[in-house]
């Protein structure tokens, strides 16, 4: 159990709830997680408000901070695979995206670029 969040990061329901609090999809990069958190902090930081709203947003910020800490702990403890198979699988999927892309996909390499056709440059 995490001392800061009081939660176990191995509980799917908690991770899923935290993801939703941060407005994240089912997949996100570390960069997207941090950007989502920063955006919510800008929007809900209690120092931007007075009176009743301030108290409301203090509670909202506690919820956002707790969700962010839980997601970050989950990411920090994620076990990455560096096996040959996993790395090759990742890059084959990555390269497939280029092969199927409208601009770089099959057949594009054989087309000539006309002098006045600047789209390929």
CATH of the domain at 61: 1.10.287
**Do 56 and 89 belong to one domain?**
no
Q: By C-alpha distance, which of 25, 26, 17, 31 is closest to 66?
A: 17
Instruction: Indicate whether 100 belongs to any domain.
Output: yes
Backbone angles phi, psi at 119, to 5 degrees: -65, -30
**Do 50 and 100 belong to one domain?**
no
Judged by average pLDDT, the poorest of 5-14, 95-104, 109-118 is 109-118
Structure tokens at 62: 């506690």
**What is the reported pLDDT for 25?**
95
Instruction: Indicate whether 52 belongs to any domain.
Output: yes
| Domain span including residue 96 | 81-109
Task: Measure the CA–CA gap between 89 and 93, rounded to whole angstroms.
Answer: 6
**What is the reported pLDDT for 97?**
65
Instruction: Indicate whether 45 belongs to any domain.
Output: yes
Instruction: Indicate whether 67 belongs to any domain.
Output: yes
Place of tokens 């997680």: 33
Instruction: Indicate whether 119 belongs to any domain.
Output: no
**Do 74 and 91 belong to one domain?**
no
Instruction: Indicate whether 23 belongs to any domain.
Output: yes
Dihedral through CA 51, CA 53, CA 59, CA 61, nearest 10? -110
**What is the reported pLDDT for 106?**
57
Backbone angles phi, psi at 39, to 5 degrees: -65, -45
Task: Measure the CA–CA gap between 32 and 44, rounded to whole angstroms.
Answer: 18
Count of CB atoms within 10 A of residue 21's CB? 20
Task: Measure the CA–CA gap between 92 and 86, rounded to whole angstroms.
Answer: 10
Highest mean pLDDT out of 47-51, 73-77, 85-89, 96-100: 73-77
pLDDT digits (tens, 9 = 90+) for 23-76: 999 999 999 999 999 999 999 999 988 888 898 999 999 999 999 999 999 999
Task: Measure the CA–CA gap between 5 and 63, rounded to whole angstroms.
Answer: 10
How many domains does the chain fold into? Answer: 2
Instruction: State pTM to two decimals.
Output: 0.63
**Do 17 and 67 belong to one domain?**
yes
**Do 3 and 21 belong to one domain?**
yes
């Amino acid at each position: 159990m995490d001392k800061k969040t009081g939660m176990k990061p191995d509980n799917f329901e908690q991770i899923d709830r935290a993801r939703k609090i941060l407005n994240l999809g089912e997949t996100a990069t570390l960069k997207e997680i941090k950007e989502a958190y920063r955006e919510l902090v800008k929007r809900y930081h209690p120092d931007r408000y007075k009176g009743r709203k301030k108290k409301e947003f203090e509670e909202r910020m506690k919820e956002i901070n707790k969700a962010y800490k839980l997601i970050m702990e989950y990411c920090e403890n994620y076990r990455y695979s560096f096996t040959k198979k996993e790395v090759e699988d990742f890059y084959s999927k990555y390269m497939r995206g280029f092969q199927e892309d409208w601009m770089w996909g099959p057949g594009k390499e054989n087309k000539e670029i006309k002098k006045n056709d600047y789209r390929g440059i």
